[in-house]
């Protein structure tokens, strides 16, 4: 696997002990993004339509031997594949342009897409949901319909996130200056409008949309299949796997500051070991190259093992058969364990071993049936040679 925040997975697949190695606002947004991508393609002189997964990639020095050409993201609104250096500007422009037609959906996408710290996003979203729950459960109590903007919780959890103010205003809150008892100057509050208060079901619907949303852009696993080769264990990764954004650097700095603080506290051995595992997250993307035939994919370093199992399962011709993935040294990687790839030491790259569940395989052979080819025909038809 290769990794930093994302990852790549590949595997050698053999029949025996094989080595392996994963009427809506959305419609209008999708159409808008597609138009903008088409316009950009026209300006740049590219004949391909957006969504055809054609991305011009500047070649890095020495990139002829890179295991992967770069890190790519897929826009689920259009199906277009974007390079890392394209993703933010392209999707931001599309989302911002849609505030005039569906501000609620656009603000939700802004919250989940523009803010990169997923822990902070979850904390902020959960806090907003609590505000809305209080209104829903206590519609007659005026105090729940007002949110003080200078409130410590609001400032620390919500004000710091892009898109949250737009969300409050889109669902029916208005900024109002209100007098404070025993205080000379008024303070700013969000106050829910009477019109919205009369439609509590709309607040509940918007809350569920906010909680269920995810970032618009998804990391593209970029599945590739290679012929057996001794080069499978030689990993050279492009700069995208290691170059951190400003926000990622801030996050790493925060983690290091927390680590320094923890060093001043007496800890048990178990506490130290747990923290060391949590700290194995230095890179931004994660790759896995499992080993016969090689199946390769890219993953976030903080993705769970289940994502790798799902990626492999989707590539299998007999996707119903149970299988195992083993790390170097024969360590079994359990799909049921809720571990991130960086916690398993699978970043920035790793070579995993694939094998069918031997008990099930023996039952199938005893019935006189031979397993089909391991990978799906469409993947085998695009097999490449490592060079």
Domain assignment present for 136? yes
State which of 216, 248, 275 marks the end of a domain: 216
Better pLDDT: 303 or 134: 134
Residues 312 and 201 in one domain: no
Domain assignment present for 171? yes
State which of 162, 195, 216 marks the end of a domain: 216
Domain assignment present for 9? no
Domain assignment present for 281? no
State which of 182, 197, 216 marks the end of a domain: 216
Better pLDDT: 182 or 152: 152
pLDDT for the residue 368: 79
Residues 305 and 196 in one domain: no
Domain assignment present for 241? no
- Count structural domains, the chain: 2
Domain assignment present for 87? yes
CA–centroid distance for 90 within its chain:
17
Lowest mean pLDDT among 109-118, 308-317, 327-336: 327-336
Is 177 strand, coil or helix?
strand
- Please report which confidence band the pLDDT of residue 192 belongs to, taking 50, 70 and 90 as the band edges: very high
Better pLDDT: 360 or 130: 130
Q: Average pLDDT, stretch 205-218?
A: 91
Residues 99 and 187 in one domain: yes
Residues 109 and 203 in one domain: yes
Chain segment 66-89, per-residue pLDDT in tens: 556 677 887 766 677 887 777 777
Better pLDDT: 267 or 261: 261
pLDDT for the residue 138: 93
pLDDT for the residue 53: 43
Is 300 strand, coil or helix?
strand
What span, in angstroms and rounded, lies between the C-alpha atoms of 359 and 12?
Answer: 21
Domain assignment present for 135? yes
- The CATH number of residue 136's host domain is 1.20.58.2190
Residues 176 and 292 in one domain: no
Residues 82 and 211 in one domain: yes
Please report the beta strands in the chain, taking only residues with DSSP state E, as ranges in sequence order.
Answer: 2-4, 6-9, 11-13, 72-74, 81-83, 146-148, 173-178, 187-192, 218-219, 224-226, 285-288, 293-300, 323-326, 332-333, 352-356
Chain segment 152-162, per-residue pLDDT in tens: 999 999 999 99
Residues 317 and 192 in one domain: no
Residues 201 and 303 in one domain: no
- The CATH number of residue 313's host domain is 3.10.20.90
| Dihedral sign computed on CA atoms, order 22, 27, 32, 37 | positive
- Please report which confidence band the pLDDT of residue 289 belongs to, taking 50, 70 and 90 as the band edges: very low
- Please report which confidence band the pLDDT of residue 32 belongs to, taking 50, 70 and 90 as the band edges: low
Residues 210 and 328 in one domain: no
Residues 89 and 186 in one domain: yes
Query: Which phi and psi angles does 349 have, rounded to 5°?
Result: -150, 160
Mean pLDDT of the chain: 74
Statement: residue 99 has pLDDT above 80: yes
Residues 85 and 210 in one domain: yes
What DSSP character marks residue 249? H
Domain limits at 300? Answer: 287-385
Pairing assessment for the beta strands 352-356 and 332-333 based on DSSP bridges: unpaired
Pairing assessment for the beta strands 293-300 and 285-288 based on DSSP bridges: antiparallel
Domain assignment present for 309? yes
pLDDT for the residue 29: 57
pLDDT for the residue 272: 54
CA–centroid distance for 248 within its chain:
14
Q: Average pLDDT, stretch 236-242?
A: 51
Residues 88 and 196 in one domain: yes
């Amino acid at each position: 696997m290769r990794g930093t925040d994302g990852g790549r997975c590949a595997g050698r697949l053999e029949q025996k002990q094989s080595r392996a190695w994963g009427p809506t606002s959305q419609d209008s947004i999708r159409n808008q993004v597609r138009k903008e991508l088409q316009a950009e393609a026209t300006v740049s002189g590219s004949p391909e339509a957006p969504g055809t997964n054609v991305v011009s990639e500047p070649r890095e020095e020495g990139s002829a031997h890179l295991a992967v050409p770069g890190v790519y993201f897929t826009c689920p609104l259009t199906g277009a594949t974007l390079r890392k250096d394209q993703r933010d500007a392209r999707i931001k422009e599309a989302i911002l342009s849609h505030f005039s037609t569906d501000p609620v959906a656009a603000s939700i996408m802004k919250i989940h897409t523009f803010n990169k710290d997923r822990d902070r996003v979850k904390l902020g979203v959960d806090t907003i949901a609590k505000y809305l729950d209080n209104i829903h459960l206590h519609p007659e109590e005026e105090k729940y319909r007002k949110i003080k903007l200078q409130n410590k919780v609001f400032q620390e959890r919500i004000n710091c996130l892009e898109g949250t103010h737009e969300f409050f205003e889109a669902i029916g809150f208005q900024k109002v200056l209100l007098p404070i008892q025993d205080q000379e100057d008024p303070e700013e509050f969000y106050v829910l409008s009477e019109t919205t208060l009369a439609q509590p079901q709309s607040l509940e619907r918007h809350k569920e949309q906010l909680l269920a949303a995810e970032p618009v852009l998804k990391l593209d696993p970029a599945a590739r299949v290679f012929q057996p080769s001794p080069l499978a264990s030689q990993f050279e990764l492009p700069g995208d796997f290691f170059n951190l954004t400003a926000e990622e650097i801030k996050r790493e700095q925060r983690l290091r500051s927390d680590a320094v603080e923890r060093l001043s506290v007496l800890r048990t051995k178990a506490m130290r070991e747990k923290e060391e595992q949590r700290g194995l997250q230095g890179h931004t993307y994660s790759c896995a190259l499992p080993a016969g035939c090689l199946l390769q994919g890219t993953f976030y370093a903080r993705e769970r093992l289940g994502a790798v199992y799902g990626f492999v399962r989707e590539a299998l011709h007999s996707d119903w058969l149970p299988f195992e993935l083993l790390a170097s040294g024969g360590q079994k990687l359990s799909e049921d364990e809720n571990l991130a790839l960086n916690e398993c030491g699978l970043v920035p790259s790793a070579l995993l071993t694939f094998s069918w569940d031997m008990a099930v395989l023996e039952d199938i052979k005893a019935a006189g049936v031979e397993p089909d080819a391991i990978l799906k025909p469409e993947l085998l038809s695009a097999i490449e040679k490592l060079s």
